[in-house]
Structure 1
Amino acid sequence: MSTLLWILVGGLLMSAVALVGSLTLVLPKSILDRIVLPMVSLAAGTLLGGAFFHLMPEGFAALGPVHGAVWILAGFTSFLGLEQFLHWHHCHRAAIECRKPMTYLILIGDAVHNFLGGLSIAGAFLIDPRVGITAWFAAVAHEIPQELGDFGVLVHGGWNRKQALRWNFLSGLAFPVGALLAYLISLQFDVVPLLLFGAGNFIYIGASDLVPEIKAHDTLSKALIHFACFAAGVLLLALPALVF
């Protein structure tokens, strides 16, 4: 399969993940409460594992540690700026427990997030399809709990189910748009910086956005479950890099 086809298929499938949010209307709140934070823990581990064991080694090999660090910091800072200036934050818990930002602001923030994600993941595919697949799965692990939370907030904010699904899906289309732009950029420029930019995104989301949420627990058993899921996410991405 050609690199462009990998990028387009991966981008469209990532957009379809937005439809996962409709599960908030089907699953009982008690089940959502039990599964969302373990999923967030797994996502945090896969994002950090993907950044440290796949994206960064490939990028450093091509650009060196100094220039590579510049692009990682650029990716990290871009998501910090996104949250600061749009006042947007992932919402991984049930809607009633989350802060209630304006619904349109959530969609704008998600669209920008998806666009940057598309640039980063496509950059990984352009370097090596195997790295792209790894980065894509790490991103999906993060997107599923995010979409569950976002969809719940949209419905809680007054949107009906069809409206929430439609607009959440449309915001997800920013991902393949960003991915296609990365491909077009690759025709004229080196895309290795996009790989490290994506690593910075992964590190910010995993360490700054997700880890603080999984630290919120009221029992030792939950703490152990969250830690085990986090460690499993790291190992899931580390083992292929260490073994192969």
Structure 2
Amino acid sequence: MILVLIAALAFGMTFVGGMVPSAVVTRVGMRRLFAVRAGILLAVAFTEILPEGLALDRALAGWTALGAFGLLYALGSLAMLDTCPEYLQECRVHYLGAAALLALSLHSFLDGFNLSVSFGAGQAAGVAVGAAVVLHKAADGFTLTSLLRQSGLSAARTWTTLAFVAAATPLGCALSSLGLADLPPRAEAALLGFAAGSFVHIGATDVLPLVHRREDRLSILFFALALAGVSLLKFLPRGHG
């Protein structure tokens, strides 16, 4: 039930983000939001999801985590996986062709898939990842809408494209949930490793540019607070759901 609610929230928040006027959102504010997301995802990946996978099958969870990181890195080198960095870099030219939109939809699908998998490490871990996904979807909606408008798309095509990308998240959730019932330990370890590797990649690509450029030191503080706060999940009672 909680997973369904989070998936619905993620879908809805994409449209909420798309309706926010450009004048309301600052790039500094967006950077801080991504710093919080990075802290949440890295903390959950290293303290909850990856240890759970390693406990089931150490080698398999480790290799699938590495594979997920490498896969997302390779895909990101070939096509735009996330509109948010594109928006924050203030690029003057954005081309959102079919390949880019397919990659964005795949990323959105993996968000939902990995969200569902993260509940295998416990409800607290799943809820924390859900909060990060919902935050990201609001930002996704804003940045994707902005870039589509800059590309010259009509309002109707912009909202249709946004709906297509947004729907991939609950679809990923649903397909993952259907396949997670009564999984053998090795398969569960592989999925947990894949989710952890994905979150490490997302968190690292969010926070490393902030550290390197040092444009906004408060972003680093937001990252550290989110990382420390969510790490305390380790001390909460565990429950699987």
- 8 Å contact from structure 1 (residues 44, 210) kept in 2: yes
Matched, 1:28 2:23: yes
Classify 1:232/1:165 alpha carbon distance in 2 versus 1 (closer, same or farther; 3 Å): farther
TM (normalized to structure 2)?
Answer: 0.83
Cα offset, 1:100, TM superposition: 1.1
Deviations 1:5-39 (A, max 9, x none): 33333222222221133254x2516x423311111
Task: Give ranges in structure 2 of 5+ residues lacking alignment.
Answer: none
Aligned residues: 233
Amino acid paired to 1:21 = G
Matched, 1:206 2:198: no
Alignment correspondent of 1:128: 122
Backbone CA RMSD of aligned residues: 2.6
Cα offset, 1:81, TM superposition: 2.5
- 8 Å contact from structure 1 (residues 46, 237) kept in 2: yes
Distance in 2 separating the partners of 1:82 and 1:137 = 25
Classify 1:123/1:194 alpha carbon distance in 2 versus 1 (closer, same or farther; 3 Å): same
Distance in 2 separating the partners of 1:60 and 1:218 = 35
Q: Return the match for 1:229 from 217, 222, 225.
A: 222
SS of equivalent to 2:153: coil
Amino acid paired to 1:198 = A
Q: Return the match for 1:60 from 35, 54, 60.
A: 54
Alignment correspondent of 2:77: 84
Cα offset, 1:119, TM superposition: 1.6
- 8 Å contact from structure 1 (residues 95, 153) kept in 2: no
The answer to which of 48-57 and 5-14 deviates more is: 5-14
- 8 Å contact from structure 1 (residues 90, 146) kept in 2: yes
- 8 Å contact from structure 2 (residues 48, 121) kept in 1: no
Identity %: 21
TM (normalized to structure 1)?
Answer: 0.82
Classify 1:212/1:144 alpha carbon distance in 2 versus 1 (closer, same or farther; 3 Å): farther
Amino acid paired to 1:83 = G
Alignment correspondent of 2:65: 72
Alignment correspondent of 1:151: 145
Matched, 1:195 2:192: yes
SS of equivalent to 1:28: helix
- Spell out the pairing of 1:105-124 with structure 2 (5 A cutoff): 105-124=99-118
